[in-house]
Copies of this chain bind each other. A is one copy, B any other.
């Protein structure tokens, strides 16, 4: 059972040819006679030859250049950890000849997203990992990548595009279901539910729709009358308080509130101000959300860890690019349930 690592030289000796010929057989660089080819090939298969990747990496230097396109954390704090994750990956993968180049865009300016992707296209990386924040612009980008055979991977936000090799993100429907399950455990039979979509131009509505579907279906599947599920869409933050208070006044059984976006802190603020007693769940670990979670005005936050998101993304690309492994077209990350008591390790 002595598992020896064979080198090109070993194989060359066994096949009574030179290293060059073995190399040609391995890489199919042609110019090898049929007999020699099959003789060498036979040995390669028999010993299950695996090249020494350390030597290969040393020889070839930076073989793969990988571009990551994601929001600038100076605009959205959520991305700070993701950026840290990318930095770590940069160091980790440098040893195997993978160079990671990061491109940040302003998540409030589609134009800036376009500028950044043009930069990427100009720099011609070997693969790209993108957070497709802006729906239309992202589709354009993916199409452009497709034209030049640039392998694309998406993360965080999903877009429908068959050209994407692998998507890394959360199951949004399931995320809604999780919120529904958590909230409903704290409700009574007569209680009713409110879904709030606090929209911002930067996010596409599919996210919210998926989450709403999950939330709604879970409740209905558990025997709750669909009439007890209410929805408010907010485009204008200015009349948020007014709208919410009116809704709650009209219906005093509305005790479970689910906010489909990270803006749940805005609701928490109102709840605190008016000393309301509601069960509140929302998304993401923004600083404001953390504050209200700790104060007890937010009961649950549904989260997806940005670090494991970037880690999984980059490691998926490396598997695909460097190791030629098959990768799954969807990589679904855990839905993290955060309450006050388990918050510490997530921040």
Residues of B within 8 A of A186 (CB): 185-186
When distances are taken between beta carbons in the complex, the residues of chain B under 8 Å from A182 are 339
Q: Is A181 an interface residue (CB 8 A)?
A: yes
Is residue A55 contacting chain B, with contact meaning CB distance below 8 A? yes
- Contact across chains for A178 and B95 when beta carbons are under 8 A apart: no
Neighbour of A58 across the interface among B55, B180, B337, B340, CB < 8 A: B55
- Which residues of chain B come closer than 8 Å to A171, judged between CB atoms? 344-345
Chain B residues near A334 (CB, 8 Å)?
305, 336, 342, 345-346
Q: Does B333 lie within 8 Å of A218, measured CB to CB?
A: no
Residue in B closest to A170 when the chains form the complex, CB atoms: B345
Q: With A and B bound together, what is the CA distance between A346 and B335 in angstroms?
A: 9
B54 and A95 contacting across the interface, CB-CB below 8 Å? yes
Contact A339 B181 (CB under 8 A): yes
Tell me the nearest residue of chain B to A323, going by C-beta: B91
Min Cβ gap A35→B in Å is: 33
| CA A55 to CA B344, docked complex, whole Å | 40
Given A55-B58, A186-B185, verify A336-B339 contact (CB < 8 Å).
Answer: no
* Distance in Å: Cβ of A331 to nearest Cβ of chain B: 10
Q: What are the interface flags for A237-278 relative to B under an 8 Å C-beta threshold, 1 for contact and 0 otherwise?
A: 000000000000000000000000000000000000000000
- What separation, in Å, do the CA atoms of A153 and B182 have in the docked complex? 37
**A residues 69-109 touching B (CB-CB < 8 Å):** 92, 94-97
Could you say which residues of chain B place their CB within 8 Å of the CB of A338?
337
Chain A 109-149 interface mask (CB, 8 Å, partner B; 1/0): 00000000000000000000000000000000000000000
Nearest B-chain residue to A318, judged by Cβ: B92
Cβ contacts A294-308/B at 8 Å (1 or 0 each) = 000001000001001
- Alpha-carbon distance between A95 and B218 when the two chains are bound, in angstroms: 47
A334-B345, A337-B337 given; 12 more Cβ-contact pairs under 8 Å: A53-B95, A54-B57, A54-B58, A54-B94, A58-B58, A92-B92, A171-B344, A178-B339, A181-B339, A305-B334, A334-B346, A337-B339
